Chain A
């Protein structure tokens, strides 16, 4: 029983990382209709920036905050420079551009930092807290808290500020948004900026558990795609819940199903993606595609 609960908590903690990156995917998909295949690579790049700052002697917390700021700006610049020219273009063009971005960012990271493994410090203390008799790692609590914090902030911005309302409007109907005076381009830039921040958080949270190298986000992005697909690509809450479900499914499969074990558990997200696409393509919370007259 105790082992089961621990596995569950472990899954939710890991799932929070998937949720953060899935949130990034959802933010971009909602505002521009683009599935950003390069999201994981951008997160990896951000994590390297944080690593560089720490190496330069800046305290970890501050380094991460600076990284988030750089990521915000970086995401906005990428939208403006690379995405804007193909905005509203054919699906294949957009996919090609984000795949190109993937290769570009990955190559750039290799060129700057090489492909050696590096350690990345954790934000959270070692050890665990005792919650009703069960030891829960501080890291697990921290991961969940960070994700909930991000979701809370995003919810406040989107539901309770004029800026958030304008960003939602720009995502729904760019032409009508211009007619009420919303600078749609700037809203899309911000969407990419927010997404880059969520991705950067996922990166600095996952890096201490793995080694930091240019392939850091390879596995994570697959789980995050599964999370976003499961939750519904246009639903932020879906992304979070999807992240948790995938995280738990992964932990249970890895821990309990013998023939899967640690090596084959990558089948879990792939299986989930396939099942969702077959049974409920819009995901748990996504809106089905509707054509309205």
Chain B
């Protein structure tokens, strides 16, 4: 049985600029994998390559399908929900419309708005408000809630806690943990808050200038000397 997401020897970049060098990683069904690294290391670029926003070289397989170079909207159909850096919510559309769009590529059943409002009650209170008028933290919750509307098999989360107050960050990770346990959704999480994500991840990779320099279980990576100095600060 092969992993849900397999990235093999991927190179990718922007125009003539190459950013990723020979990236390989796997995310198993229901597994949570953290992607760590300094600013500019290539974490966002890795997620973009996986969801088809960039055309990578190498090989990317999702649920056994070779999706290298496939259009984003077709990759989404395989159950891949990418919450991009900077959220990507539709500002002029309402909270409810944003959520319904999250279910656009779902194959079975209509959008389950009530579930989203149960997970994020604040969004329920604001369902008819335009997304652009939400606070930054609320927009971040909307972005996550919208991704969950797909009932994804794999979530790509790019700094989900960016701009959230500490208590909201904890709440958010609680929701993610709940989704993971209830639905077995696999996740590839980019996060600056390494402590937090390592607590909840199964495995982790550390990127440095476009290369993976350290891989292992979450415990192994947290215990690594150089890693601790560089990213965990103790």
Interface residues of A (CB under 8 A from B): 162, 165-166, 168-169, 172-173, 175-184, 287, 292
Contact = CB atoms under 8 A, between A and B. Distances in A.
Q: Is the interface of A mostly helix, strand, loop or mixed?
A: helix
B82 interface: yes
A175 B88 contact: yes
Contact of A178 (B73, B92, B146): B73
14 contacts: A165-B97, A165-B100, A166-B101, A168-B90, A168-B93, A169-B97, A172-B93, A178-B71, A179-B81, A180-B101, A180-B105, A181-B150, A184-B73, A287-B92
Q: Is the interface of B mostly helix, strand, loop or mixed?
A: loop
Given A177-B101, A179-B76, A179-B84, 10 more contacts: A169-B90, A169-B93, A172-B92, A178-B73, A179-B51, A179-B72, A180-B76, A182-B73, A183-B73, A292-B132
Interface in B80-109: 81-82, 84, 88-93, 97, 100-102, 104-105
Given A178-B73, A180-B76, A292-B132, A162 B104 contact: yes
A175 to B, nearest CB: 7
A48 to B, nearest CB: 37
Interface residues on B, range: 20 to 34
Contacts of A168: 90, 92-93
A165 B101 contact: yes
A180 B151 CA distance: 12
A180 B146 contact: yes
Interface of B: 51, 53, 71-73, 76-77, 81-82, 84, 88-93, 97, 100-102, 104-105, 132, 146, 150
B116 to A, nearest CB: 14
Contacts of A169: 90, 93, 97, 101
Contact of A175 (B53, B77, B91, B102): B53
Contacts of B71: 178, 183
